[in-house]
Structure formats: structure tokens, C-alpha cells
């Protein structure tokens, strides 16, 4: 069985301890001054709005696309690496990675080669038949989880459980939908028809289908579509009251779903004690613990899974994943422990497109690249560099930015004291050529491609500092 083309990247330079020390000294200097090199707008939205060809295209397309998004008036035509280019040939530094999707950047040569090779062989044949790459990607996910830790495996593969199994879907929402179904099926097999309750937590975002939406307790998303699925209870994220957790997760609970690092909800991390208490209670009542790692998984947090290095008693029974797995080509996956897998039988769940050969061939290539030791060494270095740069922000702008920085690895967030300011920072940064995302009600997210360079981090954080200086002054520079 031939493996997809793998392009080897140059090894990153070794981390220089003296250099790191100098960087940290710079970040903690008592004479900190913000970078004001980017106070002048270079990519104003108004320029795109006044460009007739761009505006005509947007106006025309608006007549046919359902109005579910509020978009700025820029039209992206192509990208390379971390750069996106619009119809005016303006380059934007993309610190969104397509919402934490393009881990290897836009238009990656290795991925393009896999797409070209596989699309000429076979793109789709359905799950009626075996194909070359679905099993190959499932094996890679399981074996890498054994290597790096997660799902009950300690690093190196030690576990009390048998082998994990994988089901492929087309998106993160579908992965969560399937995980909820698996939890319900497992509950009924082990506890009877009444074991159907599901627990989620505040500020979660698990998707937009009826099941996934039912465990996304945000009135903005839920209200238009109520009533949702029954028997869902909402707990407080990072609640460490044993009494509250015991009341929340009871004998009728079949599944508990949470994000170890919340993405859309504000880049908040799950406290280890909270996660251990939840996991312990889940096992006491015979339920299934689902970790939604759609945004924080697959090395974005710095480890393969955000929970890879957690104590094993805080590990889940199911992991859901999607975003970076095929670098933008639609795919999702559910990885389950054997105790859950043995309750799922043929015909209980299915999909037309999930696990098709093109998507999984790309996934094999992506996972090979992401798990390469030299790539992980570079990722660690860039994560530390970004962290050092971010440490300046609360010191420079204490009246604007919350003191505690959020997230880890390359899923990071800054919280604002005024909830009206995150969207303002996103707009100001965009008009200076850097694309950012809001997160929750009070934060801005940094989720660049995992291939980001130090120079790009310098540019992005320089723009952020310039924009925060404008916000702190209460105005906008001409």
C-alpha cells in the first residue's frame, strides 16, 4: 500500500538558551514601551468597499448566499503559508488559520502534491468498500496517541485498556454528534433505556447540529431552534464543588462532553482538579467522558492532545477531532476506547463521505508532518516565543487587558476588561493587515498556523500592541 507523498521540511535551528533569556528579559523589562509601528491603517475596509469590482462581486453573491454571516468587505482570492491575499492584492497575515484549521498553512506544497496524486487515483467510493487510507489514518491516530499520550494511554503506550477505534465523519459538528450517539448507545447497553442524560458545561461550543447545539449552552445559538434534545444538564466549567458535580452527573447520565481548552468560549483551560473530579464521577456512574479536542487537539496546544500529559485519571473515553486533520479539506473523527467501541454495531451509525480516500490520504500526510520530532521542536520554540511576546500585553495595557493570559501552545487568548473591545481589536488589526478572531464575550484568540515564524509573531504582536495603544487612548489615529 503506497503512502501519500511526504515532503520533508528543513530542520529548525536549535533553541538557544541565551537568546531565550534575552527575549524574556526584554519582555519583563521595567522600561516596557508598546510597539507603535502599526498605528496607521494600511488595509482600510473602506478601500475594499469602494473598489467597484470587489463590491459588485459581493453584492452579486449576497443575492444567492443565505445571510448567516457578518463579513467585512474584503474578498480573499488566494493564500500561501500564513498570508492571505484579497482582490486588491493586499496581503494579510492570517492569525486565524481558518479558525484553527490550516495547521500547515495555506496552499502547502506537500498537501497539494497529495491532493494531485490521490485525486487522479480515487476521490470517493463510499464506505461500502475498504479504501487504502482510512484504516491507515485510523492506525496513525491510535498509534500516535499511544506514543504521545491520551485516551487512557500514557506516553509510550501503557494502558489498561485494549486498542482504540476510529470513526471518520466530515466535520467537527458531525464528530460531536456521533460521540453523543455513541454515549447514548453505550448508556442503554450498560444501564438500560433510562440512562440517557447528557452533561455539558458553560461557555462550551460543540457545533450547530441539533445534538451538538443542545450541548452548546449559549442562548444566542440555541434560542432560534428550541426546543432542543431533552435530558441535557449544564454545569459550571471549572466547578470544583464535589456536591455540585455529584448532583450534575448522576446514575441516569450516559455522557459528559467538555473541551479541555475552550476555543469559541474564550480560550479558558480546564483546571486539572476539575477534570479529575468530573472523570472520577463519570466512572462512578458508568457514563462516558467525551473530550472535544476539535480546536485544541492535534498538537495545537503543544502536545498531541490537550490532555496528553494530564494524569491518566483525567483522560476521556472518547476524543473528537476535525479542524487541522486534513488542513482544510473537510474531515472529522471520533476515537473511542474499546469499552465504547464494543457497544457500537454495524448499522448503528454511518456517513456517505466520511473516511473517503482523498480526505484520509491528506490526513495521513498531515499527521506525519505534525508528529515529526523536528516539527515538534520548532512548534515548542514558536509557542514559547509567542508566550513571551504576549506577556508584555497586560503590563503595557493593564487598564485594557486582563492580567491572566489564556491557553497554551498556539491556542492563546487575551481577555479584555471591557467586552466591547475584542471586536474593536479585530477590526483595527485587520485594517493593519493582521487577521484575528474573537473568543467568547471578552477575548481575542491567536491561533496561527503551526508553521508560523518568529518574524510573523513579531509582526502580529506588533500590530496588536499598536492597536491596543489606540484602544487605551480611546481613539483612532489617522
- d(CA 20, CA 35) in angstroms, rounded, equals 20
Q: Is the Cα torsion angle 118, 123, 129, 133 positive or negative in sign?
A: positive
Torsion of CA 436, 309, 401, 471, to 10 degrees: -10
In the predicted structure, residue 233 carries a pLDDT above the cut 70? yes
Query: Is residue 297 domain-shared with residue 386, that is, in the same domain?
Result: no
C-alpha cell at 381: 520554540
C-alpha cell at 249: 452527573
| 198 to 209, 230, 340: CA distances (angstroms) | 16, 9, 16
Strand pairing report for 83-86 and 76-80: antiparallel
Query: Is residue 281 domain-shared with residue 390, that is, in the same domain?
Result: no
pLDDT for 31: 72
Answer yes or no: is 65 within a domain. Answer: yes
Answer yes or no: is 117 within a domain. Answer: no
CB proximity list for 282: less than 8 A, separation 6 or greater: 249, 253, 256, 288, 289, 317
Answer for the pair 334, 178: CB distance below 8 angstroms, yes or no: yes
Answer yes or no: is 27 within a domain. Answer: yes
| 267 to 8, 193, 262, 263, 304: CA distances (angstroms) | 32, 36, 5, 5, 17
pLDDT for 18: 45
- d(CA 320, CA 202) in angstroms, rounded, equals 19
Mean pLDDT of the chain: 93
Pick from 245, 248, 254: which is nearest to 273 by CA? 245
Structure confidence by residue, pLDDT tens digits, 2-58 = 444 443 443 444 445 544 554 454 444 447 899 999 999 999 999 988 999 999 999
Answer yes or no: is 297 within a domain. Answer: yes
| 290 to 176, 326, 334: CA distances (angstroms) | 9, 22, 10
Query: Is residue 211 domain-shared with residue 152, that is, in the same domain?
Result: yes
Answer yes or no: is 8 within a domain. Answer: no
Residue that finishes a domain, picked among 310, 343, 371: 371
Query: Is residue 201 domain-shared with residue 289, that is, in the same domain?
Result: yes
Structure confidence by residue, pLDDT tens digits, 263-300 = 999 999 999 999 999 999 999 999 999 999 999 999 99
> Within 10 Å of residue 112's Cβ, how many Cβ atoms?
13
Answer for the pair 299, 450: CB distance below 8 angstroms, yes or no: yes
Query: Is residue 185 domain-shared with residue 334, that is, in the same domain?
Result: yes
Question: 347: domain CATH number?
Answer: 3.40.640.10
Identify the bridge partners of residue 256 per DSSP, sorted by sequence position.
Answer: 199, 289
Answer yes or no: is 478 within a domain. Answer: no
- d(CA 105, CA 9) in angstroms, rounded, equals 13
- Domain range enclosing 28: 17-109+374-473
3-state secondary structure of 67: coil
Query: Is residue 281 domain-shared with residue 302, that is, in the same domain?
Result: yes
Answer for the pair 224, 281: CB distance below 8 angstroms, yes or no: no
The residue among 161 and 232 whose pLDDT is bigger is 232
Query: Is residue 147 domain-shared with residue 34, that is, in the same domain?
Result: no
Q: What is the pTM of this model?
A: 0.92
Query: Is residue 323 domain-shared with residue 380, that is, in the same domain?
Result: no
pLDDT for 156: 74
Answer for the pair 168, 363: CB distance below 8 angstroms, yes or no: no
Query: Is residue 53 domain-shared with residue 198, that is, in the same domain?
Result: no
**Angle, helices 454-473/373-390, rounded to nearest 10 degrees:** 20
- d(CA 56, CA 34) in angstroms, rounded, equals 40
Answer yes or no: is 280 within a domain. Answer: yes
Residue that finishes a domain, picked among 307, 342, 371: 371
- d(CA 327, CA 191) in angstroms, rounded, equals 39
CB proximity list for 324: less than 8 A, separation 6 or greater: 97, 100, 101, 102, 103, 298, 299, 300, 366, 370, 450
Residue that finishes a domain, picked among 371, 390, 405: 371
Q: What is the mean pLDDT of residues 416-425?
A: 98
Structure confidence by residue, pLDDT tens digits, 363-381 = 999 999 999 999 999 999 9
Q: What is the mean pLDDT of residues 316-337?
A: 98
Q: Where are the beta strands (DSSP E) in 345-467?
A: 401-408, 411-416, 434-435, 437-439, 443-446
In the predicted structure, residue 1 carries a pLDDT above the cut 50? no
Query: Is residue 321 domain-shared with residue 381, that is, in the same domain?
Result: no
Query: Is residue 69 domain-shared with residue 187, that is, in the same domain?
Result: no
Query: Is residue 353 domain-shared with residue 300, that is, in the same domain?
Result: yes
Answer yes or no: is 239 within a domain. Answer: yes
Strand pairing report for 91-94 and 411-416: unpaired
Question: 73: domain CATH number?
Answer: 3.90.1150.10
- d(CA 186, CA 387) in angstroms, rounded, equals 41
Answer for the pair 274, 306: CB distance below 8 angstroms, yes or no: no
C-alpha cell at 290: 467525551
Amino acid at each position: 500500500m503506497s503512502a501519500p507523498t511526504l515532503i520533508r521540511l528543513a530542520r529548525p535551528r536549535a533553541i538557544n538558551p541565551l537568546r531565550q533569556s534575552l527575549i524574556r528579559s526584554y519582555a519583563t523589562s521595567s522600561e516596557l514601551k508598546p510597539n507603535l509601528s502599526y498605528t496607521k491603517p494600511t488595509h482600510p475596509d473602506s478601500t475594499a468597499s469602494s473598489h467597484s469590482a470587489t463590491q459588485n462581486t459581493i453584492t452579486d453573491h449576497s443575492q444567492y448566499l443565505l445571510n448567516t454571516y457578518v463579513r467585512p468587505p474584503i474578498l480573499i482570492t488566494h493564500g500561501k503559508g500564513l498570508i492571505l491575499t484579497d482582490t486588491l492584492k493586499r496581503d494579510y497575515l492570517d492569525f486565524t488559520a481558518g479558525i484553527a484549521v490550516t495547521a500547515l498553512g495555506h496552499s502547502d506544497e506537500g498537501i497539494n502534491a497529495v491532493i494531485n496524486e490521490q485525486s487522479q487515483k480515487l476521490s470517493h467510493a463510499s464506505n461500502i468498500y475498504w479504501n487504502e487510507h482510512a484504516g491507515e489514518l485510523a492506525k496513525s491516530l491510535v498509534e500516535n496517541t499511544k506514543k504521545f499520550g491520551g485516551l487512557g494511554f500514557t506516553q509510550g503506550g501503557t494502558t489498561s485498556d485494549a486498542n482504540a477505534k476510529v470513526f471518520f465523519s466530515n466535520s467537527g459538528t458531525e464528530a460531536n454528534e456521533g460521540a453523543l450517539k455513541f454515549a447514548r448507545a453505550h448508556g442503554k447497553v450498560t444501564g438500560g433505556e433510562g440512562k440517557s442524560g447528557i452533561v455539558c458545561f458553560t461557555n462550551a461550543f460543540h457545533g450547530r447540529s441539533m445534538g451538538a447545539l443542545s450541548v452548546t449552552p449559549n442562548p444566542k445559538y440555541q434560542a432560534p431552534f428550541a426546543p432542543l434534545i431533552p435530558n441535557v444538564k449544564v454545569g459550571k466549567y471549572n466547578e470544583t464543588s464535589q456536591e455540585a458535580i455529584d448532583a450534575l452527573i448522576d446514575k441516569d447520565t450516559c455522557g459528559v462532553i467538555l473541551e479541555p481548552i475552550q476555543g469559541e468560549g474564550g480560550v479558558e483551560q480546564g483546571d486539572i482538579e476539575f477534570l479529575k473530579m468530573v472523570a472520577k464521577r463519570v466512572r462512578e456512574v458508568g457514563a462516558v467522558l467525551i473530550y472535544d479536542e476539535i480546536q485544541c487537539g492535534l498538537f495545537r496546544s503543544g502536545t498531541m492532545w490537550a490532555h496528553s500529559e494530564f494524569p491518566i485519571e483525567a483522560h476521556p473515553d472518547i476524543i473528537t477531532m476535525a479542524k487541522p486533520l486534513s488542513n482544510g479539506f473537510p474531515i472529522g473523527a471520533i476515537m473511542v476506547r474499546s469499552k465504547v467501541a464494543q457497544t457500537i454495531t454495524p448499522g448503528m451509525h454511518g456517513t456517505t463521505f466520511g473516511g473517503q480516500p482523498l480526505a484520509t490520504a491528506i490526513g495521513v500526510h498531515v499527521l506525519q508532518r505534525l508528529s515529526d520530532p523536528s516539527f515538534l521542536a520548532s512548534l515548542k520554540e514558536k509557542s514559547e516565543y509567542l508566550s513571551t511576546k504576549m506577556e508584555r500585553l497586560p503590563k503595557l495595557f493593564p487598564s485594557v487587558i486582563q492580567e491572566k493570559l489564556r491557553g497554551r501552545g498556539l491556542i492563546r487568548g487575551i481577555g479584555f476588561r471591557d467586552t466591547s473591545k475584542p471586536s474593536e481589536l479585530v477590526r483595527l488589526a485587520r485594517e493593519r493587515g493582521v487577521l484575528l478572531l474573537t473568543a467568547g464575550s471578552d477575548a481575542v484568540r491567536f491561533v496561527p498556523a503551526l508553521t508560523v515564524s518568529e518574524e510573523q509573531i513579531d509582526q502580529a504582536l506588533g500590530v496588536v500592541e499598536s492597536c491596543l495603544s489606540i484602544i487605551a487612548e480611546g481613539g483612532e489615529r489617522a
